[in-house]
Structure 1
Amino acid sequence: MAKILIVLYPDPITGYPPTYARTSIPQIDTYPTGATLPSPKDLGFTPGDLVGCVSGNLGLKDWLESAGHTVVITDDKEGADSVFERELHDADVVISQPFWPAYLTAERIAKAKNLQLVITAGIGSDHTDLNAANERGITVAEVTYSNSISVAEHTVMQVLVLVRDFVNQHQIAASGGWNIADAVERSYDLEGMRVGIFAAGRIGRAVIERLAPFGVRLSYTDRFRLPAEYEEKYNLTFHESIESLVTEVDVLTIHAPLTEQTRGLLNDELLATMPHGAYIVNPARGAIADRDAIVRALESGQLAGYAGDVWDPQPAPADHPWRTMPHNAMTTHTSGTSLSGQARYAAGTREILENWFDGSPIRPEYIIVEGGGYKGTGAHSYAEKPTKDNQGV
């Protein structure tokens, strides 16, 4: 029997919801790539329920305990006396979400003598020290594509919110005002703007496909160039580097994983090369941006707006400057944890666990590291020297 340590975000302040705004969510049979959705033997929850919080427990608790496993579920993950820290030493499996990540540093991995499997319920495994996991032969998996469209939709929303200056307009309406000139003095049409996509993986491509009908001029950069027919279909311009891309865009969206190469990439020097008054939307990872450089660029007017769904660290402290910097439209890493997205990544988490307990292979697209090396999606997204064999992952 195994010990499974699950770290999830806290329940709603008002308590676990007894009812929901909608009674169901649409049934999706396949992802846009044709890949099938998670297919566990059972769910343990009703799709559309809030399962990403402690009481929701990803629908795993009853199933795991009925099989004789020890299950610890907590939202307490920070500090030496946290539940996560106290329970980690003999855990066989750790599960957390990118929205409320359980940071598995090399030091914590060294203490977790029994740890064999780390699962990200969602997408993005940079909260685990992947090199340390490789050294120990720990398997790291995530539910690839489960909430990619959720994040893409959120990205498009934030692009429009920034360009149309929605936050300011809503605040005027909510405060009882009718100040039309004040509401529109920073409001523009997206149509005709130059939009650059940094990293054209699953989320980046979904953003391209959703923004194209707005009549924008699209460009991108990625470690792998997209097929010529795809570029032609969306009239895409390819740039060899982020440094080239940012000089020719009015809006930049970020979809790269956090690596040593991308950490702090959006710094003063790079931001200074962007056209004056550009916008940035970053739903990828907060640490890709230099926190204070973003603030300075907004205060100087070099950036007209910054929106994002990700912070560094998470949860962000109450005095984080991105909460109050001018012309921001930040959210609290909610893009990928819509109730629809939760249903998919909770199902994928259970599928991974079923495979692991049965000794059957985990889907390659879910694997980040396995057997001491980057495999599957990890070889494409995280390895320093990706191979051609992983371009389609």
Structure 2
Amino acid sequence: MKVVAVLFPDEHPDRHPDVVASAARGLDLCERLEQAGHQLVTTSATGEELDELLADTEVLVTTPFWPVYLGRDRVEAAKELKLVITAGVGSDHVDSEAATEHGITVAEVTGSNVVSVAEHNVLQILALVRNFVPAYEQVAEGRWDVADAAQEAHDLEGKTVGIIGLGAIGARTALRLRPFDVTMLYHARHRRSPAEEATLGVRYARLDDLIAESDVVCAALPLMPGSSALFDGDRLAAMKPGAWLVNTARGAIADAEAVREACTSGRLAGYAGDTWYPQPAPADHPWRDMPRHAMTIHYSGMTVEAQRRIADGVREILDAHLDGEPIPEDYVVAAPRG
């Protein structure tokens, strides 16, 4: 069996010994697979070289979003492919419908990034509210203008935070925000029980009400029908003047040009997140140089600890596949019928 792992490039693995989700380390799968008589090929290729590798590949392992997009054409060309594993969470880069039509199972390591992304949400909320980036830039530039940095710095305490999506990440974000003495609203397709709401310290609100009442809006929902460009010009205009928006969910949830315009005009006090569309973000992406942002590259769910959880999960999925056993249901994103 041939396994292809398309992972982050790392030309200097000696400088990054803990990065296991790289082509250099290959999630530490090589020895295990070779001992079982299988071949592992690690790569960061995205074009024709990858297509050649996929021609006789049975299992593809890929990090979320990048470096590979597995569309219908690639699925149909990969005649031997039986399993696609996302080394992380978020399989939007795979055409799941085409995969299942061709007998391919799509799986991901559910829950591996929950803690990491929830912590990043809190980090970016604080970075915006406390006006951290402009203050840091003063240090890098050799400046010292306290009034300039302080005029847009606020306490988080007493603010209203709206969380859109209260799944595993949204719920953990809420738990981590409770000690800041904020009012928390949430909107989700499935309302939590009264006991869960009390534990998390949240109150349910309709989406329009949450948008209108929140000082900070945090998007923690998947990309799905209805959520693409959820934050368009109209919805951004409906937010409180001077509110902050954090989006570590999916870049396509926000209209890039509308966000840039809102940040430039001051309608939004700031925008932060680490997911972009497309990824990797091109050098001229409108968010790269817009004012009032605290963007990062898409690394929130790839902490060293998360990578270890991811590697363990990928091994568990692979072992089940090799042994002819069912893949644990919580890992399965899409499976062929029958």
Shift of 1:91: 1.5
Paired residues for 1:127-206 under 5 Å: 127-206=93-172
Give the alignment partner of residue 310 of structure 1, picking from 269, 275, 289: 275
SS at 1:54 equivalent? coil
SS at 1:321 equivalent? coil
Paired residues for 1:66-105 under 5 Å: 66-77=35-46, 79=47, 81=48, 83-98=49-64, 100-105=66-71
Q: RMSD of the TM alignment (CA)?
A: 1.6
Cα deviation 1:337-361 (Å, max 9, x = unaligned): 1111101101110110001100112
Shift of 1:234: 3.6
Cα deviation 1:187-237 (Å, max 9, x = unaligned): 111111110111100000000000011011101111111111121234422
Separation of aligned partners in 2, 1:4 and 1:217 = 48
Cα deviation 1:317-342 (Å, max 9, x = unaligned): 11111111111111111101111110
If the length of structure 1 is used for normalisation, what is the TM-score?
0.83
If the length of structure 2 is used for normalisation, what is the TM-score?
0.96
Q: Given the superposition, is the C-alpha separation of residues 296 and 18 from structure 1 closer, same or farther in structure 2, using an over 3 Å criterion?
A: closer
Aligned to 2:216: 251
Shift of 1:18: 4.9
Separation of aligned partners in 1, 2:72 and 2:35 = 32
Aligned to 2:29: 60
Cα deviation 1:10-59 (Å, max 9, x = unaligned): 116xx113576xxxxxxxxxxxxxxxxxxxxxxxxxxxx21011112101
> May I ask how many residue pairs the two structures share in their alignment?
338
SS at 1:256 equivalent? coil
Shift of 1:246: 1.0
Aligned to 1:388: none
Shift of 1:174: 2.3
Tell me the percent identity: 47
Separation of aligned partners in 2, 1:137 and 1:272 = 45
Paired residues for 1:1-393 under 5 Å: 2-11=1-10, 15-18=12-15, 49-77=18-46, 79=47, 81=48, 83-98=49-64, 100-240=66-206, 242-372=207-337
Q: Given the superposition, is the C-alpha separation of residues 108 and 236 from structure 1 closer, same or farther in structure 2, using an over 3 Å criterion?
A: same
2:174, 2:201 within 8 Å by CA — same for their partners in 1?
Answer: no
Aligned to 1:35: none
1:190, 1:216 within 8 Å by CA — same for their partners in 2?
Answer: yes
SS at 1:351 equivalent? helix
1:99, 1:333 within 8 Å by CA — same for their partners in 2?
Answer: no
Aligned to 1:383: none
1:306, 1:327 within 8 Å by CA — same for their partners in 2?
Answer: yes
2:45, 2:67 within 8 Å by CA — same for their partners in 1?
Answer: no
Shift of 1:85: 2.3
Separation of aligned partners in 1, 2:16 and 2:125 = 31
- In structure 1, the gaps of 5 or more residues are 21-48, 374-393
Cα deviation 1:221-257 (Å, max 9, x = unaligned): 11111111121234422124x3332111111111111
Report the more deviating stretch, 105-114 or 187-196. 105-114
Q: Match for 1:174: what amino acid? A: A
Aligned to 1:376: none
Shift of 1:129: 1.0
Shift of 1:74: 1.0
